[in-house]
Structure 1
Amino acid sequence: MLLGAHVSTAGGCRNAPARAADIGATAIQIFTKQPNRWAEVTIPDDEALAFRAAVAQHGVAYANAHDSYLINLATHDALLLDRSYSAFLGELNRANQLGLHALVTHPGNATDGDLPRGLAQNADMIARALEEAGGTVQVLLETTAGSGKVIGSRFEQLAEMIARMPGNVSDRVGVCVDTCHVYAAGYDLREDYDGVINQLADVIGLDRVRLFHLNDSATPFASKRDRHAAIGEGSLGDEPFRRLMTDPRFALVPKVLETPKELPENPKDQVTMDLRNLARLRGYLTSA
C-alpha cells in the first residue's frame, strides 16, 4: 500500500525521503518551495539527483508536491493571473526535475463571483502549463471545503475542469480527494460512505482519483471550513477511514496524511504524530 504523509524539505529536498523512512512511509508529499511566498527557487541539478537517489534508497514508491497556496489561476485580476501562471509553471518544472509523480493544486478562487469564468480559466491555464512544461507529471485537482468563492467543492466542478482538457494532456489530469474537505463541503463520508463514493464514480470516474489526503475534520459536517484533525479524533471518526483503507477500488491509490504534527510538549517533534496516525490507519487493515 502506498501510504505516508506530507514531510518537510528543510535543508533541501534530498532530506525528505529519509524523513519518510522515519515514519515508515512509502508515499510522500512535499513543497518544492515555501508555499506562502512568491519568491521562486531553482533546484540545482545535484540536489535533484540526490533527491531521486534518496527516494530509491528509502523505498519511497510515490512522491508528489503540493503547489503554493498563493497561486490562483481562477482570478479575474490580470496581474495576479500572470504571476500565478508563472508560479504554477515553476511548480511543474520543479516536479519534473525531481521526478515526482504528481502536483496537487487547489482549483482557485473566483473572487469576482463568476464561478463559470474562473473554472474555465483555471482549466485552460492548467492545460497550457502542462503543454509548456512537458514531462510526465500529473496535475491533481484537490477537492475543497467550499468556503467563499473557492472552486472545487462540488464534484461537478472538477469534472467540468477535466472535460476542458485537450486530448494531449487529458490523461495527466486527475483528482486528489481530501477527506476533510469533502466532508466539510457536504459529502457525508461518515453516514453515507457508499453514496459519496458512488457520486464520485458517476460524476468524475474513479479512474481519475489518483491521490487521497487523509485528514479528519476538526469542524462539524458541512461546515465549509478547512480544519484538519488527527485520524479518528475529529467529526469524521474512525469508520470512513476504515472503509477507505479496506476499499479494494482504492487499494493502489496513494494516501498521504496532512494531519497536525505538533505535540504540545515538544513542538519540534515532527515524527510522533505521523507515526500514531499511520499506525491507526494500518490498524484498520488488520482489524477488517
Structure 2
Amino acid sequence: MSKLTATPRQFPAAKTALQFGRLLTKNNNQWRAKPLTDDDADRFRDALARTGIQKPCAHDSYLINLGSPKHDVRQKSIDAFVIELERAEMLGLLGVVMHPGSFLDSSEEEGLQKIVDGLDIALEQTDGQAVEVWLETTAGQGTNLGHRFEHLAYLIDNVADNSRLGVCVDSCHIFAAGYAITTPSEYKQTMAEFDSLVGIDRIRAFHLNDSKKEFGSRVDRHEHIGQGHLGLEPFRHIVNDPRFAELPMYLETPKGKKGDEFDQMNLKALRGLSAL
C-alpha cells in the first residue's frame, strides 16, 4: 500500500508489512527514458518476488497531458504514455495509473475528446499487452479533468477499445471534488452514482489518502489517515466494502525523513478499521 518511487534498478526490499506497491518506472520529470533491457526486467521481477509485495502498478509521469490543446505537448504526451505502458508490460505490472489530463485554454469538451483520441492511439500501439490503464479520479484543480464521474464515463464510453480501461479511486480527490463519503448513506449514494455512470466493476484500485483541505475545495493535498477533513469513517466504509475486498489499496500519504515510518502508522490505522 505504499508508493515505491524507485526505478527497476533501485527497487527496495519491503521494510514494512505492506501488501501492495506502486512505483514509477522512470524519472517522473523527464519525457523519455533509457529503454529497459530483458535483464532489467528479470532483476526487477526477482526483487519484487523477494519483497512479497503483490499487485504492483505504476503511475505515469506528471508531465503527460493527453488533453493539451498544444500539439507538441500532446504528441510528447502520447509518445511518453506509450513508453509507460511498454515499460509496465515488461515489468509485469497490472496497470498504469494516469491523471486523465487538463484542457488548459481550450474547453472541457475539447479536452475530453483529445484524451479519448490519445488513449485510442496509445492502446492501439500497445495492442496485445495485458497491462491496463487506470484513470485516476482527480480533485479538479485548475482545468484538470477527471473530477466528475461523468468525465470518466465519457472517456470509457468513447475509447474505441475500452477493454483495458479501469479506474483508480482516490479518496482525497473525490472528497475534494465534492463527493461525500463520510456517513454510510453518503458513501452508499456516491458509490451508487459511480456505478450508474461508470460501473462499479471498472474500479481496479484505490488511493487511500485523507485530505488537508475541506470538502469540495477542489484542492489536492493529502494528509495522514484520520488526521484530515475526511476523518476515519470514509476509510472504514471502503476497507469493509466486500465489493472491493480483492482490490489493491495504495497509500499516498505524507512521508517522513526515512520514508516509511509514517506508512506503518497509516497502515495500522487502516487495519484497525477493517472487519473483513
- Whether 1:153 and 2:147 are equivalent positions in the alignment is yes
User: 2:150 and 2:32 mapped to 1: Cα distance?
Assistant: 34
Q: Where does 1:121-270 land on structure 2 (aligned, <5 Å)?
A: 121-134=114-127, 135-166=129-160, 169-191=161-183, 192-262=186-256, 267=257, 269-270=258-259
Runs of 4+ residues deviating >6 angstroms: none
Give the counterpart letter for 2:105 in structure 1. D
CA pair 187-125 structure 1, distance change in 2 beyond 3 A: same
How many equivalent pairs are there?
273
Equivalent position SS for 2:156: helix
- In the TM superposition, what is the alpha-carbon distance from 1:44 to its structure 2 partner? 2.6
- Equivalent residue letter for 2:193: Q
Q: Distance in 2 between matches of 1:60 and 1:121?
A: 36
Indicate yes or no: 2:30 matched with 1:41: no
Q: Is contact 2:225-2:231 (8 Å) kept?
A: yes
- Rounded to whole Å, the distance in 2 between the matches of 1:239 and 1:17 is 32
Distance of 2:203 and 2:12 partners within structure 1: 24
Q: Provide the secondary structure at the position in 2 that maps to 1:285.
A: coil
State the percentage of identical aligned residues.
42
Q: How far apart in 2 are the matches of 1:25 and 1:171? A: 29
Deviations 1:191-211 (A, max 9, x none): 411111111111111110001
Residues 1:16 and 2:11 aligned together: yes
2:263 — aligned with what? 274
2:4 to 2, 7, 11: 7
| Pairing partner for 1:102 from 72, 83, 95 | 95
| Contact 1:17/1:51 (8 A) holds in 2 | no
AA of the residue aligned to 2:267: L
Contiguous gaps of at least 5 residues in structure 2: none
TM-score, normalisation: structure 1: 0.91
Tell me which amino acid in the other structure corresponds to 1:228.
Answer: H
**Normalised by the size of structure 2, how large is the TM-score?**
0.95
Paired residue type of 1:16: F
Unaligned runs of 5+ in 1: none
